[in-house]
Structure 1
Amino acid sequence: MTKTPNISFEFFPPQTLDASFRLWETVQMLAPLNPDFVSVTYGAGGTTRKLTHEAVGAIANNYGLNVAAHLTCVDATRAETMEIAESYAAAGVTEIVALRGDAPKGSERFTAHDDGFTSSVELIEALAATGKFKLRVGAYPEPHPDAADTLADVRWLKRKIDAGASSAMTQFFFEAETFLRFRDACVKEGIIAPIIPGILPIQSWDGTRKFAARCGTQIPAWLDDAFASAKRDGREELLATALCTELCDTLMSEGVDDLHFYTLNKPHLTRQVCHALGVSPQIALQNVA
Structure 2
Amino acid sequence: MTALSFEFFPTKTDEGARKLQVQARQLADCNPEFLSVTYGAGGSTRNRTRETLVSARDATGIPVMPHLACIGHSKDQIQSILKDYKDLGISRIIALRGDRPSGIGTVEYDDFQYASQLVAFIREETGDHFHIEIAAYPEVHPQARSMESDLDNFRRKIEAGASSAITQYFFNPDGYYYFMDRIASMGINVPVVPGVMPITNYMKLARFSDACGAEMPRWLRKQLEAYGDDSASIRQFGEEVMTGLCEKLVSYGVPALHFYTLNQAGPSMAIVKNLNLA
TM-score, with structure 2 as normaliser: 0.93
Q: Are positions 1:208 and 2:205 aligned together?
A: yes
Q: Deviations over 1:11-46 (max 9, x none)?
A: 111112342233112201101111111111012332
Equivalent-residue separation in structure 1 for 2:119 and 2:165 (angstroms): 12
What does 1:25-44 align with in structure 2 at a 5 Å threshold? 25-44=22-41
How far, CA to CA, are the matches of 2:250 and 2:193 in structure 1?
11
Alignment partners' CA distance in 2, 1:208 and 1:265: 15
1:118 maps to 2:116: no
Q: 1:54 aligned to 2:51?
A: yes
Distance in 1 separating the partners of 2:113 and 2:260: 27
Return the alpha-carbon distance in structure 2 between the equivalents of residues 212 and 44 of structure 1.
18
After the TM superposition, which residues 91-240 of structure 1 pair with which residues of structure 2 at under 5 Å, given as runs? 91-107=88-104, 113-129=108-124, 130-131=126-127, 132-231=129-228, 235-240=233-238
User: Structure 1 stretches of 5 or more lacking a match?
Assistant: 281-289
Closer, same or farther in 2 for the Cα pair 1:125/1:18, shift >3 Å? same
Q: Mark the CA change 1:181 to 1:113 in structure 2 (over 3 Å): closer, same or farther.
A: farther
Quick check: 1:95–1:133 contact (8 Å CA) kept in 2?
Answer: yes
Cα distance in 2 for partners of 1:114, 1:62 equals: 35
Identity, % of aligned positions: 36
Q: CA deviation at 1:99?
A: 0.5
- Which whole-Å CA distance do the structure 2 matches of 1:19 and 1:155 have between them? 40
| Counterpart Cα distance in 2 of 1:113 and 1:161 | 28
Which of 247, 260, 263 is 1:262 aligned to?
260
Structure 1 CA distance for aligned equivalents of residues 255 and 86 of structure 2:
28
Query: Are residues 1:253 and 2:248 paired?
Result: no
Bigger Cα displacement from structure 2, 232-241 vs 125-134: 232-241
Q: Alpha carbon RMSD of aligned pairs, Å?
A: 1.7
Which amino acid is the alignment partner of residue 210 of structure 2? A
1:124 alignment partner AA: V
Shift of 1:230: 3.6
Query: Is 1:20–2:17 an aligned residue pair?
Result: yes
What is the alpha-carbon distance in structure 2 between the residues aligned to residue 155 and residue 19 of structure 1? 40
Q: Structure 1 residue 146: deviation in Å?
A: 2.0
Q: Whole-Å Cα distance in 2 between the matches of residues 103 and 183 of structure 1? A: 30
> SS of 2:175's equivalent?
helix
Give the whole-Å Cα distance in 2 for the aligned partners of 1:141 and 1:96. 21
- Looking at structure 1, the residues matched to 176 and 227 of structure 2 have their Cα atoms a distance apart, in angstroms, of 26
Q: SS of the residue aligned with 1:33?
A: coil
Give CA deviations for 1:89-115 in whole Å, capped at 9, x if unaligned: 01111111111111221147xx66545
Structure 1 residue 9: deviation in Å?
A: 0.7
Aligned length: 275
Of the structure 1 ranges 225-234 and 212-221, higher mean CA displacement relative to structure 2 is found in 225-234
Counterpart secondary structure, 1:27: helix
Higher relative CO (CA 8 A, sep ≥ 6), structure 1 or 2? 1
8 Å CA contact 1:141, 1:179 repeated in 2: yes
Within 1, Cα distance between the matches of 2:219 and 2:157?
35
Contact map agreement 2:3 2:256 (CA 8 A) in 1:
yes
How far apart are the structure 2 equivalents of 1:35 and 1:243? Answer: 22
Q: Which range is displaced more, 82-91 or 124-133?
A: 124-133
| Structure 2 unaligned spans of 5+ | none
Aligned letter for 2:42? G
Q: In the alignment, residue 215 of structure 2 is paired with which amino acid?
A: Q
